A and B are shown apart, each in its own frame.
Chain A
Amino acid sequence: MEGWIYWMKNRLEEIRKLKGLSQEELADILGVSRQTISSLENGRYNPSILLAFKIARYFERSIEDIFIYEEDENGR
């Protein structure tokens, strides 16, 4: 898979707002910092599989519903 580019998008901000939560509140619920939530939403940071499960379980959705994995050959 050399020469492939991988990235991940997510719908965390949208799903969080649907539930009427602030970043700080979600951070408290998940036991992480507010900056972690902010970085996740901006796509600057990809969560560990453990945190992804925690988020998915809290929102009662599948991981794939929140985190969208994408790949492309040679960045096309």
Chain B
Amino acid sequence: MEDRLKKKKVKHFIYNLLGYLLGVIIYDLLGNENSTLRVLSGILFVIVVRALLDLYEYRKHPKMWEKEKQLEKDERLIIIRDKAAYFTYNMTLTILVILWFVNIIKQNDELSYLISGLIAVFIILMELSKLYWSRKM
């Protein structure tokens, strides 16, 4: 069952990609040229394709659906997700700090302000979320 779930993830990725391409192609065929709307059209098709696929799989393999829901609550997978999220947070922060330094050196003031703002938002969000969870637990 878990192997089938892994295959399902790959299948979903491919369908999402196809959905996006379909959205973009249909948008272009209609003769439109706005690049933002082209991306939005792609995203809309991804949502529609994903919803149809979920509905189909829910009806065809209800047990697989149940297993997927069950795995979302698996304590080991939750810990893995938490560790991965914390690692990603640290890496993102490191990359932002490097970018900030580069922009300071290159004297891109606007961008360095923007990046320092982003760094501040990241740190504040992390601390607020820690505070929230430490009060809840």
- Hey, which bits of chain A sit against chain B, CB under 8 A? 24, 28, 31-36, 39, 45, 47-48, 50-51
Contact pick for B76, options A28, A31, A39, A50, CB 8 Å: A39
Complex: A24 Cα to B70 Cα, angstroms? 13
- Please state if A36 and B76 are interface contacts (CB–CB under 8 Å): yes
Question: Is B73 a contact of A31 with CB atoms below 8 Å?
Answer: yes
3 smallest beta-carbon distances between A and B, as pairs: A36-B76, A33-B74, A32-B74
A51 vs B78: C-alpha distance in the bound complex, in angstroms?
A: 14
Chain B residues with a Cβ closer than 8 Å to the other chain, count: 10
Verify B74–A34 contact, CB threshold 8 A.
no
Interface on B for A, CB 8 Å cutoff? 1-2, 67, 70-71, 73-77
Contact residues in B for A36 (Cβ distance below 8 Å) = 74-77
- A35 contacts across to B, CB distance below 8 A: 2, 76
A32 near B1 (CB under 8 angstroms)?
Answer: no
Beyond A31-B74, A36-B75, A51-B75, 19 extra complex contacts between A and B, CB < 8 Å: A24-B2, A28-B67, A31-B70, A31-B73, A32-B74, A32-B76, A33-B2, A33-B71, A33-B74, A33-B76, A33-B77, A34-B2, A35-B76, A36-B74, A36-B76, A36-B77, A39-B76, A47-B75, A48-B75
Least CB distance, A45 to chain B, in whole angstroms: 6
Q: Given the complex, which residues of B lie within 8 Å of A47, measured CB to CB?
A: 75
Mind listing 16 A-B residue pairs with CB under 8 Å? A24-B1, A24-B2, A31-B70, A31-B73, A31-B74, A32-B76, A33-B74, A34-B2, A35-B76, A36-B74, A36-B75, A36-B77, A39-B76, A45-B76, A47-B75, A48-B75
